[in-house]
Amino acid sequence: MKKILFLLLLPITCFAQSEISNFWEYGTRGISEVINDKNDSYWISRDLIQEPSYGSYLNLKADGTFNSWNSAECANDCFYHSNGTFKKIDETHIRLQINSFWQTGVLCPDREKNNSKSRDLGIFEIKTDEDDSIVMKRQSSLIMRVELDEVVRAITSLMEAAFTDLYYVVAKMGYSLIPKQPYNPLNTID
């Protein structure tokens, strides 16, 4: 019975996974807005765009960097640009960091504005939407979990190094870590 259930669920699982698997293909896609530190979700087109014309775009590169920008038919507009790095957490999660965000154009509220301060945007879940686009939505609880995992790994590594050093010192001095006689609190020296 378990084998039959597994065989029935396998096509559904594989189909759901393949719906976003092309997200990890490097190249340019349409996006709802330029990547910034204010939005919690973005809609991304499923297919790569060979020659972008007008709209907002996201370009993922094989070296772990991204560019995001917008363009319009008329040059009298405000254009936004961002670049940064991304890290694939697993098939359905990505971590983004903006390295710089700037705007140019005659219709920008602050004219030329550039923010080169790196900002961790956190972890985004990648899934499909009912209109056949990909949704990338910030997952605040995962940020804490990933950072906690990194802290635990660092503490474990430091403890292993400390115990290795302690063992080396004890061995060098010729002491044994195992006592020769069991400790008995009733045996006291007068």
Q: What is the pLDDT of residues 37-67, one digit of tens each?
A: 889 999 998 888 888 788 999 999 999 999 9
* Mean pLDDT over each residue of the chain, to the nearest integer: 78
The pLDDT confidence band at residue 142, using thresholds 50, 70 and 90, is: low
Distance CA 120, CA 141 (A): 14
Mean pLDDT comparison of 13-17, 39-43, 165-169, highest-scoring range:
39-43
* Structure tokens belonging to residue 170: 């004890």
Whether the CB-CB separation of 118 and 99 falls below 8 Å is answered with yes
pLDDT of residue 78: 86
Does the pTM of the predicted model rise above 0.75?
no
